[in-house]
Structure 1
């Protein structure tokens, strides 16, 4: 029985202090399952500290998994309401982080690493080895054409990290590499094609500062690069004409096609002074190639990108060259051949 004067006396005051915090006990974790024990982060090894080491590190992206876990905590009572995932890649997006599976750890198996980083010194060494390998490749043993795009992509990824600050002589090395043989020439063209796509067309670099650095470096060297493209186009077209009777058109024809594909990517954004240099040599060459059945599609696509450019009237005025007698005759002849047939 409760007495009347039991609660009449107030509690004694606490001298020069604050009231103690309420006891947590079991009441502080009322929205967590009893079996939930967060993992402690290791003291001597964490992702930010490993940046100083010359080792490969792989980081797993947990953003989607953590969001799913927070959403599931709204309605799930405990681990009894969590369903087991099927061993299929389609269910990877529903995966939760490992602390969410205290009773079923098999669902916490990582299916894919999404990011890989290396030390810069190691990237520099690997880039020199890759380019040096193609310098020393024997001409008598040509590699398969299936290896050109992957190797060019590898060199481009190295360029994104090292050029031009840490690799100033890259363009000279690529120009020297293109003289080693037809395979090396096509590799260099693919490198120029991919780097232009990533920097200017797709703009898929994560760092805007790196993209600006690469863009400025390409713009500063655009005169030599365009001269390199036009010289390759002229050289391989002469070889294409010389081997036409010998029925051995594949190497020269393939080089001409890759040069035209590379030029198509560049003419979208480079300065017009490079396109109309040497009295419109590029435009005249493209109009002339419209008469070649094996090269007319690539030449027409490159020409379309040039005439589709937007800009000031002074920048587009050199396009009047296309309305000359010789260019218009080749364009009309190519159109008639496309409609009427050869």
Structure 2
């Protein structure tokens, strides 16, 4: 028996930690003892039933996991291997990693970089891996240190916190947007050069505005993303990866056809394996361990439901790492 955070749909929705056994695990060719998982925004949506994230019931929550291979029918993995899982519909269509064990598919797994233990890997998790995908996309577009200010929205969240730390470590001047004025010292400690009120970006704005940003990492969407595009400098790029404010995008074509701004969509769930491996290699090189520790809070699996509710209420900063007991 092992603990799992199980989501049930009927007769009414419920989310609770209970003991299950191996017969509860789904099909897969690799069984992993999960040491740590994490709470991302998508996890919180599923656990609080705020959005139809889950598409198969009952479900074990948890889109991320880090642990040790116990059994494998995959030629790529053997018992004892240290692995990381991000996305691929786990926690949505395939039972996830907020549990002591998970049964997964070998082609979904990434070898955990030697630079990280399991806890650190989950301090990064999908949020940090997504932030790295944003940085890689901006770099492919040509963003280089010294090019100008780089905006990070939703800066005290998981994606935002890691993006601030990564970009500043890479030599960029980072401007962090947040609605939490009390967290300015936290953001400066992560490497932000300046902190602005998210209210500057959150309401409807003009189609073209004063050019401010050489690049943007946006985890918010809606008017915030529209204003970020309208404020991006000629030839700059905006990496869009989230929808905390909304899924809508109320903008015009003006930034794209008059300033040559590029809007870069970032998908972390089904990203191809070579890109995932590149992201984790860069994270191992570019994330500063002290800053990672500063943004991380560890909780027990039994506290995950409560903290998911707090995350949805905007009462969490940085990363929540969940000790699963695996």
TM-score range, shorter chain: under 0.3
Which structure: larger Rg?
1
More helix, by proportion? 1
Greater RCO, CA 8 A, separation 6+: 2
Q: TM-score, normalised by structure 1?
A: 0.25
Task: Name the one with the larger strand percent.
Answer: 2
| TM-score under structure 2 length normalisation | 0.26
